[in-house]
Chains A and B, each alone.
Chain A
């Protein structure tokens, strides 16, 4: 008995990466294995050959190469849109190319400095010993973590939906509703200590998002109305509603602008350092929630229900699961997670709500949920990557003059490769995985 347990443990340790491959993106459909097995005879023999073969079939390889290819293509776009390159090209193509290369390198350097920090500056600051200078030097790194907080929540929201076979395009609207609810509790409920006020405001944010997820979930489960269209519609309803709220019930008394009052200090998420570092508790809440989502999905029987419904609804019915309930619950939970994204932004960073406060989280979170293979750990990593890129891009815009939107372009390219891994496999001549590719598959309109 004890021996058996030990073998299982050691087996489990070995299988850690393998486990991730089997529990990949939901709703998953294992594509049929390739009809004709190409004989791997052509591959070079020897230890290196075997190593390369093994590594090229590893599932994370596509993800890694997709990210790298995306970054390279992003650099290429930067280079190609550099005016000097064309100006110098006419005199000397070599000089032109160099200018293009320089532009790309400059922007990525700026990106690095903006997202992680400037190593020289950090070293100097630590040598100088001035706390303010140190804080300012290491601020980019913490700001990147801050930026990734809403991405973690929104990415988890989309990932949870995928696991249940639902495509949540409504993270944007759910996020806004969460922010509005949290801000309201943050400024309107007075006299509470922070220990109660903060959780209350967070819960309000989750509830706001939950409501926005519940409605499309209910419609999907009961009428078959497709969640993609319904969540898009819910997004626009949320935008209009927030416009209304910011011109009415939530508007700051002394302002003509659509902006809410500041939340009370008791509702603010505590920050860990003095200015300018804004790093706040939200990051750890996000990690905690990601852990909870992981537990829910993979360690509880509810998660088992949810994943089964997402992976094979027929089998779920056969196993006696309640598909209607699971659909509604999953969509509501997804909404709640996106709501937390909004709540964290207003409680941790902005401390108030302004019109058009969210931009593009909805679509970005789809990209990063797919990048993270709908696994909470993957989502956290992808969210930190996106947050880092977004944050660094601000510096890149300031110093290298490269518009921040290049990040979206790179995200789109990465997502394209993730959605069609065959492209990456062709470019890099990777081996087909033996079990066939797994990919997201959404059910058609109208159920």
Chain B
């Protein structure tokens, strides 16, 4: 008996040590790429110039100039050291934090390499990254709301698209605020349909989400083709003006990056913090998560599973509607057919990447936003890697995360399962 317990315990240790080694190898691999791919053959005389002023900067900062090769070697060295430590000892609970650090080093090294002998506006890049992250993060938050209560939502894309169109249309007729509300409202309506199909009629949640996606894509394109293109005045909303936050926006470097955006950016940050707090620190969040993890247990404690799920799905739809309004009222100022271009699905991936956690999803959203931004910029810089491959990176990363190589992502236990009171 004792021997068997011992063997079991050993396999437990082996599993976690496998993960430690995989992580260590990943760190070393990133270090190796910095060292060999970026660093080798680099002219030691080359310098990288990073601009630190973006649009709206009031205090001009001088450019940041440094020797490329030395920086690369330094970053490679530090990453390799972290990898070696991870292999030997492991960082334990802070492994993910170190992973984030190494990835950040890698991205910085990449940018330094890309801008070797040239100049790159770092502040501008970061500002754009943040902007691109907004709809993705909001989409992920929509997914988190639904799935934390146990309803899979692959219809984020469709809800976003509907939100984009309706908000543009209504904003053109009335004003932006009414348009925004209408966009949020249409998200809620579609979410309710998803809810009725999947909660009441217990249709498969992925099929039901597909229904919403097809419907929304068809309906928005239909209305766009039938009305918006004919009557241009119906598709001419104003864009929410940027709001410079007093004082904060004057902070050098950070100020213009963070505090010179319009409503949607601040909205995203507020919703992000509110949701993170509400999920983990309030009664509302506790009950919602219990419904997503173990609805039967919640039911035995007197929590209304069905009502909670409807509530969560509707809020998720409103979030997606808000994300959709970003495209028309926050960015483009016009509705184009299929303009969300898969951001909803990327949001879904960001949700999984971020482990159904708002902050995690924001981190993933930044990563996706960064890749999105790079693809357009690097073409200009003439980097040797085709931009398409950079754009693929986040998708591949998501698949790796899903495969459990970098630690298993943990979906709510009852996610996707209809609740049958029996």
Give A residues with C-beta under 8 Å from B: 77, 81, 167, 169, 219, 223-226, 228-230, 232-234, 236-237, 240-241, 243-244, 247-248, 360, 363-364, 366-367, 370, 397, 401-413, 415-416, 419-420, 422-423, 439-446
Contact = CB atoms under 8 A, between A and B. Distances in A.
A196 B202 CA distance: 50
Contact of B210 (A363, A402, A407, A439): A363
Contact of B388 (A241, A360, A404, A422): A241
A220 to B, nearest CB: 10
Contacts of B416: 442-445
A420 B197 contact: yes
17 contacts: A81-B226, A225-B404, A230-B399, A233-B395, A233-B396, A236-B345, A236-B395, A247-B386, A403-B221, A405-B225, A408-B218, A408-B219, A408-B222, A420-B197, A441-B204, A444-B152, A446-B402
Contacts of A440: 204, 207
A225 B396 CA distance: 13
Contacts of B205: 442
A219 B403 contact: yes
A225 B202 CA distance: 24
Interface in B205-225: 205-208, 210-215, 217-219, 221-225
Interface stretch (B3-11, B123-131, B170-178, B407-415): B407-415
B398 interface: yes
B391 A408 contact: no
B417 interface: yes
Q: What 8 A-B pairs have minimum CB-CB distances, sorted nearest first? A: A408-B218, A412-B215, A403-B225, A420-B201, A244-B388, A405-B221, A419-B203, A444-B416
Nearest to B398: A233
Contacts of A404: 225
Contact of B211 (A224, A236, A419, A443): A419
Interface residues of B, number: 55
A225 B402 contact: yes
Contact of A409 (B197, B203, B222, B409): B222
A94 B349 CA distance: 51
By DSSP majority rule, is chain B's interface helix, strand, loop, or mixed?
A: helix
Contact of B207 (A234, A419, A422): A419
Most buried by B among A364, A410, A442: A442
A409 B217 CA distance: 8
Given A244-B388, A410-B218, 4 more contacts: A364-B214, A405-B225, A406-B222, A445-B416
A411 B349 CA distance: 26
A408 B210 CA distance: 12
B355 to A, nearest CB: 11
A228 B399 CA distance: 11
Given A219-B403, A240-B388, A419-B197, A412 B222 contact: no
Contacts of A408: 214-215, 217-219, 221-222
B342 interface: yes
Nearest to B408: A446
A370 B207 contact: yes
Contacts of B404: 223-225
Nearest to A420: B201
Nearest to B395: A233
B204 A419 contact: yes
A143 B399 CA distance: 39
Contacts of B409: 446
B286 interface: no
Nearest to A224: B404
Contact of A232 (B208, B225, B349): B349
B392 interface: yes
B325 interface: no
A415 B349 contact: no
Contacts of A81: 222-223, 226-227
A44 B145 CA distance: 49
Nearest to A246: B388
Contacts of B152: 444-445
A230 B222 CA distance: 30
A360 B217 contact: yes
Contacts of B399: 219, 225, 229-230, 233-234
Most buried by B among A247, A397, A422, A441: A441
A411 B218 contact: yes
Nearest to B410: A446
Given A445-B152, A446-B402, A446-B409, A228 B206 contact: yes
A412 B211 contact: yes
A416 B211 contact: yes
A236 B222 contact: no
B348 interface: yes
B31 interface: no
A229 B352 contact: yes
B154 interface: yes
B389 interface: yes
Contact of A240 (B222, B227, B391): B391
Contacts of A446: 402, 408-411
Given A409-B218, A423-B201, A241 B392 contact: yes
A230 to B, nearest CB: 6
Contacts of B208: 416, 419-420
B415 A420 contact: no
Given A224-B404, A422-B201, A415 B221 contact: no
B182 to A, nearest CB: 18
B392 A444 contact: no
Contacts of A229: 348-349, 352, 398-399, 402
Contact of B342 (A77, A236, A360): A236
A248 B214 contact: no
Contacts of B213: 363
Contacts of B206: 167, 169, 228, 442
A443 B204 CA distance: 10
Contact of B226 (A241, A370, A402, A416): A402
Nearest to B223: A81
Given A366-B210, A444-B416, A233 B349 contact: yes
A234 to B, nearest CB: 8
B154 A228 contact: yes
A221 B279 CA distance: 33
Nearest to B206: A442
B206 to A, nearest CB: 5
A69 to B, nearest CB: 14
Interface in B24-54: none
A413 B410 CA distance: 33
Given A419-B204, A445-B415, A409 B392 contact: no
Contacts of B207: 366, 370, 415, 419, 440, 442
A415 B223 CA distance: 21
A132 B193 CA distance: 50
B218 A232 contact: no
A404 B197 CA distance: 26
B141 to A, nearest CB: 17
Contacts of B221: 403, 405, 408
B194 to A, nearest CB: 10
Most buried by B among A167, A408, A410, A442: A408
B203 A420 contact: yes
Most buried by B among A219, A229, A422: A229
Nearest to B231: A83
Given A223-B404, A248-B386, A419-B207, A444 B411 contact: yes
Contacts of B224: 403
Contacts of B402: 219, 223, 225-226, 229-230, 446
Contacts of A247: 386, 388
B395 A237 contact: yes
A209 B402 CA distance: 22
